Structure 1
Amino acid sequence: MTALDGRVGIRGGVHGAQQHDSGHKHVAGTAEYIDDMPELAGTLHAYLGLSDVAHGEIVALDLEAVARAPGVVGVLTAADVPGHNDISQPGKHDEPIFVEKRVEFHGQPLFAVVATSRHAARRAAKLAEVRYDPLPFALDVAAARQAGGAVVTDPMKLERGDVAAGLAGARHRITGSMAMGGQDHFYLEGQIAMAVPGEDEDVTVYSSTQHPSEVQHMVGHALGVPSNAVNVVVRRMGGGFGGKETQGNLFAVVAAIAAKRFRRAVKLRPDRDDDMIATGKRHDFVVDYDVGFDDEGRIAAVDAVFAARCGFSADLSGPVTDRALFHADNAYYYPNVRLVSEPLKTNTVSNTAFRGFGGPQGMVGCERWIEDIAYHLGKDPLDIRKANFYGERDRNVTPYHQTVKDNIIARLVDELEAGADYRRRRAEIVAFNTGSKTLKRGIALTPVKFGISFTMTAFNQAGALVHVYRDGSVHLNHGGTEMGQGLYVKVAQVLADCFQIDLDKVKITATTTGKVPNTSATAASSGSDLNGMAAANAAEQIKDRLILFAMERFGVPKDAIAFEPNCVMVGNQRFDWADFIDQAYLARVQLSAAGFYKTPDIHWDRAAGKGQPFFYFAYGAACSEVVVDSLTGEYMVERVDILHDVGKSLNPAIDIGQIEGGFVQGMGWLTTEELWWDREGRLRTHAPSTYKIPVVSDVPKIFNVRLAEWSVNKAPTIRRSKAVGEPPFMLAMSVFEALSMAVASVADYTIAPRMDAPATPERVLMVMERLKRERAG
């Protein structure tokens, strides 16, 4: 046997660089997505009819021309929903499948056309005649506040210490406000679902979703049937990033209703424009803050409000705005702190989960006051960051009263600071800016501390199903979904390691609610943690049975049995893995197991704002350098150095890819991706022509990514690894902060730039011009 992964004897075990199980298929175009699946004879196609006002009562809805259009088989409205016309989160009842009377945002679904082709359905959907009685609408945080400040869910408050006394007694005090924009998920595979009717109440739904069990529940709820009649299947998604945690529900439900109504398979796939218009995005935030600090920049007290544009319904805005508060400390200790969320209702599409789930907004907000402190005191922002890091004993309690026990941020930042040669480069950049009239450079080093676990404690559970067949091949199924992040191969590596067999002996199968029930969404960076542990639990059950069989058959003690590379040692006898399994089968040993795992030692009391919501923290740091053209505001990212903590990596190749991808996506959110609604409440940035995601030329010219290989998770996670899906996203704050330094150079670093996000070239230019005027005046 060869050793490709550091573990002698098996190919593809844990802790080794292993290629993505579908990587070669992605490149060759043979990876099968829902739209690639062969359509059954007679498959119909559905398309949504969307509202064209932001807020109003429907006076008349005339669908006769739609129904008469060529190829149309039928039209579905709220009246045609056999069960409940509702896809809202539990207990909310604020998000209908189809509007019944009141339109709440431009692009809200009114009806669905079902036709013999997608083209026919799409054309017919445009023929509806709708008359509205317009109502006033609010599109952003300012307008929502002006309209009375209605919220979509209860706000949360985190508080510790005496904030008023801390602020009053502080040597220095600053107040300010920062706005940061939203972000479209812009997955490569858009929203899509295909439903196939079965006998009686049964229906099978192929859905591009991160949460098959929620789709199962929503479809059953809409059809008025129990969950056992609905089977949801997900082999892979072409990207999700949180956009398919709840937003896929609508498309799956409509396809299922149509399939049962017309007794034929039905597919629903919107085009990119309608997908972007009708589905939720990252929440926009406005952060208002009041911070007190001493001469060294050490924070004494923080009082901040995090207001969010949530959209017309709750969706996941409650937990998203909660998590923003959980991460409003980033890596910093606040002796006295009060943080309040403000989840505001607006007449826009309901915003939803997005990579980081509110954490990025919380961190960017707190990095703003760190930057303000630095400019107020005339210090390097990195020195302010380091002065406020969590420490030991009396400086290790978060605003939500959880003690930070695994803190490695100081070591991580010191190592990156030295490795990236930060101090020398910053001095050179300051000298360069002094002598350069047009080009201005900037550099910043920012930390990340990110809590891992669902803050809804019940979601921290997972199941897996493992079969070992008579020939020694292994079948793996679990509740996690594969959206390109490499979850499937990681869990397969765990299973191969448990049995000590080559990875190619493990068959990865599509996620399906018919095999593993009641799963949580693949989100919160917990996919590998939860599903890896569940698969390992199933494997250990099977191994225990195999050990008992060997003890009884060969009369040896337990400690004489060992699973070694592709074989089992029983005393001094060596059995090939497949031969041993065949013998166990003949002896009627059960070779199948359902595994389960729940995260231990977590609890949360939202009303009290206290608890231990996170099992552990993941850490990282990034140092970024930029150059800005002060005449146009255009800029380039010259170099990025990243040192990131993934514990003992399950798969370094996959983890480094996640870090690189997360960083670039975060950079897009903070620099180029801008959402814009017009005065009528219509989203105008709804296609690649008007919405700019990062492209190849935006990737840093020098991009150095390293894992903190010395880190081992203190928490008992799967093989002592750490989550890697979301934490790297926030590393991109270093780019935003580097741009701030370049901007501030036009006023000799005497004025805090206070630049809102995203830092588009236009915004960069306008802030530079403002600073020049303030400096001159």
Structure 2
Amino acid sequence: MRNVTLPEHNTGLAETGPLANSGLAGQDIVSAVLGKPSPHESAIGHVSGSARYVDDMIEPANCLHAAVIRSSIAAGQITRLDLTAVSNSPGVATVMTVEELTGHVDIGPVFPGDPIMTSSEVKFFGQCIAVVAATTELAARRAAQRAIVEYETHTPLLDPREALAQARLVRPSHRMIKGNIADGMAAAAHILEAEQAVGGQEHFYLEGQVSLALPGEDGGMLVYTSSQHPSEVQKLVAEVLDVPLNRITVDMRRMGGGFGGKESQAGQWACLAALLAAKTGRAVKMRLPRQDDMVMTGKRHPFANRYRIGIDSQGQILAADIEVIGNCGNSPDLSDAIVDRAMFHADNSYYLPHAVIDGHRAFTHQVSHTAYRGFGGPQGMMIIERAMDDIARTVGQDPLTIRKLNLYGTSTHNPDRTVTPYHQQVEHNSLPEMIEQLEHSSDYWARRTEIHQWNQASPILRRGLALTPVKFGISFTLQHLNQAGALIHIYTDGSIQVNHGGTEMGQGLHTKVGQIVAQTLGVSSEVIQVTATRTDKVPNTSPTAASSGTDLNGKAAQNAALTLKQRLTGFLAAEKSVAEEAIRFADGRVFWGETDTDNTSFAELVQAAYVGRISLSATGYYRTPKIHYDRSSASGRPFFYFANGAAVAEVVIDTLTGEYKVCRVDILHDVGRSINPAIDRGQIEGGFIQGMGWLTTEELVWHNDGRLLSNSPATYKIPAIGDTPPVFNVSLYEQANNEATVYNSKAVGEPPFMLAISVWSALRDAISSLSNYQLSPDLDTPATPERVLKAVMAIQTDMLDKAVANGEDC
């Protein structure tokens, strides 16, 4: 190796300063960067308005704006389409229909069924029929309204149970079987049955669906898009344009929220913008107005659930027959995997010795429902959490007692209670310890006693309390998506540029990845720049979803950083004639000996390595180990590990109006070894409030003709700051992940969402108090004041009927 002189410097560092060792595994480093509440990398830009989104970009010269001509019926056939007035409208450059396309017409992300436009059959209200490009957005929207469309109208199918009865499914049903359910039911002291409707949810991201397409040379296209899956957008744009993927580059710097709504459904708008750009040779921007966005894009799947459960006299589950029916809308989209995940989580945290779980994917004439935070898991958990409350009322126990009795791995009679209905072992289960810790920190039992006494003296207002756990599997259930890549450049001044396949939607992924690279190389986060996600830097990426953004992309970035660290270590060891094991990277410096002069700055080492012709650019790759699932036998290990949490919610309801308030929430959530506690807390708080909105205020309402009536902020209520519980305690359960994740952290994006089930359960608890906790109310979600009042009245009627039957004085 060519001899290069490295400058000698005194460190000036105290002996107590934390130093990262040179271990290339990178798992046991005492953190100098990680575990610190570092601010979000775009925080200042977010609050100042300088953070640039797609709609903030300076538009190229002669840029056109696109608008959609959409159907005004939910089911039927187009009998006449006249776009003459649209074409002749002021400012219109072109109008496009599906007949003009020479490439792919169906843009279904996994299975076919999603035509980019239709000229014949209409399957949902708001379906895209044609698209127009004009010189301004207003001109395009006005022109679109001039289209003449006539239909043969059919009666829409909107009920998923009716769809199942008619065998109208978007994908085949699936079943999981464990043990012998007939034997379990035969041994039961009680058999309980119930049905449950679980409402959907609008994503309501701050930034709507938007794309900007710029035509290039040789049929190429540069697409700026607000998408959680840039590689899928690249693929779909290439297919509709009928060009190779290498001609399409997708750039995604940040989204103003995604929550799953931009995993698959951002692709259509990018494709339409690209088609118009290719046709006109001009840049085209497509940004959906809020109402169009709400009408034309999918929601969280509404579910219709059912259980039949056998229990012993103490309330322990012996057998469970569970059915989950996903309202998938008009096409498969991601519904196969979403209903699978609902099935995977229909046990939540509880051991089911004998179980049958059926999952159905129902067709309806609604927009194709899609990914949403939790990806079916929350809908699946709801049915077993209802069962826990119902069991408690049946056997006269507190619901928490029943939940603890049925947890995985807690039975003295059967210590091997660790196998799920899909035959994965629940390993390293921290929930019993977490629940015990939260019981004490929240004063659960003292508050339970006080609430009982308060309710007995309060005829109108009633309080409720509930503690519910979460066990959420982490990994994509589609195995090949569990991979990621990263690219790191170190420049000669010591600054570092990182690119990876994950997308930033406000969740702090770029901040965490930057911290991981900084920690691995022993430098400050300030020298790290994480750049826009681009398909020409890291190819073939997976969507940022399934809570795996940091797990996958952070590990890929760490591996790239370790490659560079090894190169620098080898170079320095040769230059200084020391063993590689003696070299340490920490605090922006590199150490190779015991004296104060045996070190140099990271930047100076990099400069020397460049002169020494050492490559300062590296790729990293990671794929999740251990996971597999055999669909034919419904068994395997679909999840690398489980993230756990528990929440205690207290509510008060007005039995005369159904109005209620969440008074206090206590959360203990498992984050593994936290990379950034501030971001993790933000995810927990935000996820909980979003989940609370799903279960209480956010109501999707469709007219019987298939029109979405809750299509604006005026008719759809997300939680506001005033809905935040006045007492909101969030604690992190920091215990290193037993699996070899990046720095032994755990995913924290989706699991906290389901902690909000505690609010719904607390509402049921308050209503049940009217029967002295003898009856378990029916309370579908969202549990609006109207539904709460209906449940109150049903309990009061049942109690009155019971009193009359017993000859009691009413």
Q: TM-score, normalised by structure 2?
A: 0.94
Match of 2:560 among 529, 538, 543: 538
Q: Are 2:646 and 1:621 equivalent residues in the alignment?
A: yes
Q: Contact 2:19 / 2:32 at 8 angstroms: preserved in 1?
A: no
Look up the match of 2:23.
none
> Any conservation in 2 of the 1:160–1:336 contact (CA below 8 Å)?
yes
Q: 1:765 aligns with which of 774, 789, 808?
A: 789
CA distance in 2, matches of 1:672, 1:559: 58
More deviation in 537-546 or 722-731?
537-546
Indicate how the Cα distance of structure 1 residues 378 and 11 shifts in structure 2: closer, same or farther if over 3 A, else same.
closer
- 1:11 shift after superposition: 10
Is the 1:11–1:503 Cα contact (8 Å) retained in structure 2? no
- Mapping for residues 138-287 of structure 1, pairs under 5 Å: 138-146=157-165, 148-287=166-305
Question: C-alpha separation between the residues in 1 aligned to 2:652 and 2:429?
Answer: 33
Report deviation, 1:747: 2.2
Alignment of 1:519-598 (within 5 A): 519-571=541-593, 572=595, 573-598=598-623
- Contact 1:533–1:718, Cα closer than 8 Å, also in 2: yes
**Counterpart residue type for residue 406 of structure 2:** N
Kindly provide the amino acid, as one letter, of the partner of residue 195 in structure 1: A
Between the aligned partners of 1:152 and 1:705, the Cα distance in structure 2 is 40
Contact 1:12–1:493 (8 Å) recurs in 2: no
Residue number among 450, 455, 460 corresponding to 1:433 in the alignment: 455
Comparing 610-619 with 161-170, greater Cα deviation is found at: 161-170
What is the distance in 2 between the residues matched to 1:559 and 1:512? 36
* TM, length-normalised to structure 1: 0.98
Deviations 1:202-260 (A, max 9, x none): 10000100000010111011110111111000000000000000010110000011111
* Maintained 8 Å contact 1:2/1:11: no
CA contact (8 A) 1:12 1:496 kept: no
For the pair 1:722 / 2:746, whether they are aligned, the reply is yes
Cα pair 1:452 1:526 within 8 Å, conserved: yes
CA contact 1:12–1:18 (8 Å) conserved in 2:
no
Match of 2:62 in 1: 42
Residue by residue over 1:706-726, the C-alpha shift from the partner in whole angstroms, topping out at 9 and shown as x without a partner, is: 0012x1100000000000000
In structure 2, distance between residues paired with 1:218 and 1:607: 30
Task: Please say if residues 480 and 527 of structure 1, whose CA atoms lie closer than 8 Å, have aligned partners that are also in contact.
Answer: yes
Residues of 2 paired with 1:607 and 1:219: CA distance?
34
TM-align CA RMSD: 1.4
Q: How far apart are 1:469 and its partner, in Å?
A: 0.5
Alpha-carbon spacing, 1:561–1:674, altered in 2? closer, same or farther (3 Å): same
- Asked whether the 8 Å contact 2:19–2:585 carries over to 1, the reply is no
Q: 1:110 to 1:746 in 2, by over 3 A?
A: same
Query: 1:27 and 2:47 equivalent?
Result: yes
Label 1:139 to 1:708 Cα distance change in 2 as closer, same or farther (>3 A). same
Q: Give CA-to-partner distance per residue, 1:371-397, whole Å, 9 cap, x none.
A: 111111121110110000000652000
Question: Which of 134, 149, 158 is 1:115 aligned to?
Answer: 134
The offset of 1:2, in angstroms, is 9.3
Rate the CA distance shift 1:239–1:745 in 2: closer, same or farther, 3 A: same
* Alpha-carbon distance between aligned partners in 2 of 1:619 and 1:407, rounded to the nearest angstrom: 8
* Unpaired stretches in structure 1, ≥5 consecutive residues: none
Render the CA deviation track for 1:296-339: whole Å, top value 9, x for unaligned: 11000000110111000000000000000100111100000000
Among 76, 92, 98, the alignment partner of 2:117 is: 98
| 1:755 matches 2:785 | no
- Rounded to whole Å, the distance in 2 between the matches of 1:469 and 1:654 is 28
- 1:81, distance to aligned residue in structure 2 (A): 2.0
What residue number does 1:295 align with?
313
Could you give the per-residue CA deviations for residues 597-653 of structure 1, whole angstroms, max 9, x where no partner exists?
Answer: 000111111121000011000000000000111111111100000000000000000
Q: Deviations over 1:254-296 (max 9, x none)?
A: 0011111101110000111110000000001111111000111
**Partners of 1:11 and 1:502 within 8 A in 2:** no
Pairing 1:56–2:76 present: yes
Residue-by-residue CA offset, 1:158-191 (whole Å, 9 max, x unaligned): 1100011111221110111011100000000000
Taking the aligned partners of 1:284 and 1:2, their CA distance within structure 2 comes to 58
Q: Give, in angstroms, the shift of residue 89 of structure 1.
A: 2.4
2:366 maps to which residue? 348
Task: Report the Cα distance in structure 2 between the residues aligned to 1:11 and 1:294, rounded to whole angstroms.
Answer: 49
Tell me how far 1:100 sits from its aligned partner. 2.7
User: Which SS does the other structure have where 1:771 is aligned?
Assistant: helix
73-82 vs 176-185, which deviates more? 73-82
Larger mean CA deviation between 183-192 and 547-556 belongs to: 547-556
Matching residue of 2:145:
126
Residue 140 of structure 1 deviates from its aligned partner by 2.1
* CA displacement, residues 561-602 of structure 1 (integer Å, 9 cap, x when unaligned): 221221112335211111111000000000000100000111
Q: Secondary structure of the residue that 1:394 maps to in structure 2? A: coil
Contact 1:233–1:512 (8 Å) recurs in 2? yes
Structure 2 residue 64 is the aligned partner of structure 1 residue 70: no
The answer as to 2:412 corresponding to 1:387 is: no
What is the SS of the residue equivalent to 2:169? coil
Measure the CA separation in 2 of the matches of 1:705 and 1:186: 25
Count residues with an aligned counterpart. 773
1:679-714 CA distances to partner (integer Å, 9 max, x unpaired)? 1110000100000000011110100000012x1100
In structure 2, the residue matched to 1:502 is 524
| Identity rate, percent | 51
- Runs of 4+ more than 4 Å apart: 5-12
Partner of 2:690: 665
Alignment partners' CA distance in 1, 2:40 and 2:697: 29
Aligned residues of 2:777 and 2:795 also touching (Cα < 8 A): yes
User: 2:95, 2:776 → 1: CA distance?
Assistant: 57
Residue number in structure 1 paired with 2:737: 713
The separation in 2 between residues aligned to 1:6 and 1:488, in whole angstroms, is 26
Q: What one-letter code is carried by the residue in structure 1 that aligns with 2:293?
A: D
Cα distance in 2 for residues equivalent to 1:509 and 1:690: 38
Aligned partners of 1:327 and 1:362 also within 8 Å: yes
User: 1:469-512, CA deviations, whole angstroms, 9 ceiling, x for partnerless residues?
Assistant: 11110000000000000000000000000110011100110000
**1:556 positional shift:** 1.8
Checking the alignment, whether the CA contact within 8 Å between 1:83 and 1:223 is kept in structure 2 is yes
The match for 1:462 among 456, 461, 484 is 484
Between the aligned partners of 2:13 and 2:266, the Cα distance in structure 1 is 43
Q: Name the counterpart of 2:25.
A: none
The DSSP-based 3-state class of the residue aligned with 2:446 is helix
Partners of 1:724 and 1:409 lie apart in 2 by: 16
Work out whether residues 107 and 116 of structure 2, in 8 Å CA contact, stay in contact via their aligned partners in 1: yes
1:677-692, aligned counterparts within 5 Å? 677-692=702-717
Checking the alignment, whether the CA contact within 8 Å between 1:202 and 1:230 is kept in structure 2 is yes
1:515 and 2:537 correspond:
yes
Q: Secondary structure at the match of 1:758?
A: coil
- CA–CA distance in 2 between the matches of 1:130 and 1:160? 53
Matched position secondary structure for 1:339:
strand
Q: 1:765 to 1:144 in 2, by over 3 A?
A: same
Name the aligned partner's letter for residue 83 of structure 2. L
- The runs of 5 or more residues in structure 2 that have no matched partner are 1-11, 21-29, 802-810
Deviation, structure 1 residue 8? 6.1
| Partner-residue secondary structure (3-state), 1:153 | strand
**Structure 1 contact 52–107 (Cα < 8 Å) conserved:** yes
Deviations 1:539-577 (A, max 9, x none): 111111112212222222212222122111233521111
Structure 2: how far apart are the matches of 1:153 and 1:13? 47
